[in-house]
């Protein structure tokens, strides 16, 4: 029996944003280790498809329609998990949305929406899951971004929401140092998901296209495997991808240089807001 199988068999895992991308890949990855799943997202039809596929191979899975901007929905997600399984061992705050616009051009409702999804969604779900996670000495995971370690030009609201998530989770970790709670921040590099297609433009409409060539990006499945391994090892932070690791390190020792490099890098995107 592998270490991961031994540690994850029978564990109850709650995943937000589980209808696509990294969240969906996480559901399938955890299913390989006989975990019990609670998957939340707004798209209940897609959740039901995932649940049907996993149930057909013997995985216990509960789909729950969840809009993480709603405190009531987040509370219901956790209550449904407890009602079905009686415990929660792992909470993965994965639901997220991005943006692409300069701050001078962006409607403030866009930034507010990103904070509601990326930050408040994490806070709501964690608040209601925390008592149960403390009982199991479980794990809270925030699926973040390199944008949470340093500002990403053209993504001001996205970076702000991820910085806020980091501050929240790091404080949560310190407050529970003696309670056995594991808190992990996972920061994928550029990943081939639909997040970029649904990223909001200055007026709040989805951009509907990816500004990047996705063939060289990480896949959601690769990211999911790294996150699961990190949970098993109870890692603190995981920064994925060579570019991500270099940029985070450079931010600490050569901040002015990385500022200029990031500006140039983002300005080269097709239809860049810098042009």
Q: Say if residue 211's pLDDT is above 90.
A: no
What is residue 253's predicted lDDT score, i.e. its pLDDT? Answer: 74
CA distance 31 to 34: 5
Domain-wise residue ranges, the chain: 3-242
What is residue 192's predicted lDDT score, i.e. its pLDDT? Answer: 59
* Mean pLDDT value of segment 189-217: 67
> Which residues are 19's β-sheet partners?
none
Residue 212: band (very low, low, confident or very high) from pLDDT cuts 50, 70, 90: low
Q: Which of 124, 128, 158, 265 is catalytic?
A: 158
Q: What is the average pLDDT score of the chain?
A: 90
Q: Say if residue 151's pLDDT is above 90.
A: no
Cβ contacts of 88 within 8 Å, gap of 6 or more: 12, 14, 38, 78, 81, 82, 129, 132, 133, 136, 138
Token pair listed for 6:
């031994």
What is residue 6's predicted lDDT score, i.e. its pLDDT? Answer: 83
pTM for the structure as a whole: 0.89
Taken in order 116, 107, 197, 240, is the CA torsion positive or negative?
Answer: negative
DSSP string, the chain: --HHHHHHTT-EEEEESTTSHHHHHHHHHHHTTT-EEEEEES-HHHHHHHHHHHHTTT--EEEEE--TT-HHHHHHHHHHHHHHHS---EEEE-----B-B-TTT--HHHHHHHIIIIIIHHHHHHHHHHHHHHHHT-EEEEE--GGGTS--TTBHHHHHHHHHHHHHHHHHHHHTTTTT-EEEEEE--SB-STHHHH-B-TTS-B--S-SS-GGGSBPHHHHHHHHHHHHHTT-SEEE-SHHHHHHHHHHHH-HHHHHHHHHHHHHTSTT-TT-
The CATH-assigned architecture of domain 3-242 is: 3-Layer(aba) Sandwich (3.40)
Ordered strands of the 12-16 beta sheet:
61-65, 36-41, 12-16, 90-93, 139-143, 182-187, 237-239
Give percent of the chain with pLDDT exceeding 90. Answer: 70
* Mean pLDDT value of segment 244-253: 72
> HSE of 205 in the Cβ direction (CA atoms, 13 Å)?
4
Residue 28 among the catalytic residues: no
Q: Say if residue 41's pLDDT is above 80.
A: yes
Could you tell me which residue, 269 or 174, shows the higher pLDDT? 174
Q: Say if residue 44's pLDDT is above 80.
A: yes
CA distance 157 to 161: 6
pLDDT digits (tens, 9 = 90+) for 48-100: 999 999 999 999 999 999 999 999 999 999 999 999 999 999 999 999 999 99
Lowest mean pLDDT among 71-85, 120-134, 150-164, 214-228: 214-228
CA distance 233 to 119: 25
What is residue 179's predicted lDDT score, i.e. its pLDDT? Answer: 97
Picking from 32, 126, 115, 143, the residue whose alpha carbon sits closest to that of residue 77 is 126
């Amino acid at each position: 029996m592998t270490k991961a199988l031994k540690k994850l068999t029978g564990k109850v895992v709650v995943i937000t944003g589980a209808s696509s991308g990294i969240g969906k890949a996480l559901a399938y990855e955890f299913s390989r280790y006989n975990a019990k799943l609670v998957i939340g997202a707004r798209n209940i039809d897609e959740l039901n498809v995932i649940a049907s596929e996993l149930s057909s191979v013997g995985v216990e899975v509960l789909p729950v329609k969840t809009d993480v901007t709603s405190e009531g929905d987040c509370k219901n997600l956790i209550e449904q998990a407890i009602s079905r399984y009686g415990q929660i061992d792992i909470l993965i705050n994965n639901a997220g949305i991005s943006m692409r616009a300069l701050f001078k051009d962006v409607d403030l409702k866009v930034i507010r929406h990103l904070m509601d999804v990326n930050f408040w969604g994490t806070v709501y779900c964690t608040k209601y899951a925390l008592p149960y996670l403390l009982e199991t000495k479980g794990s809270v995971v925030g699926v973040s971004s390199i944008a949470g370690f340093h500002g990403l030009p053209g993504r001001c609201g996205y970076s702000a929401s991820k910085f806020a998530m980091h501050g929240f989770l790091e404080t949560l970790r310190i407050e529970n140092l003696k309670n056995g709670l594991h808190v992990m921040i996972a920061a994928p590099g550029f990943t081939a998901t639909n997040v970029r297609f649904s990223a909001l433009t200055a007026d709040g409409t989805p951009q509907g296209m990816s500004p990047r060539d996705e063939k060289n990006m990480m896949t959601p499945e690769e990211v999911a495997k790294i996150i699961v391994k990190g949970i098993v090892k109870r890692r603190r932070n995981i920064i994925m991808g060579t570019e991500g690791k270099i940029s985070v390190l450079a931010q600490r020792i050569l901040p002015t240089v990385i500022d200029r490099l990031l500006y140039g890098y983002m300005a080269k995107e097709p239809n860049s807001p810098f042009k």
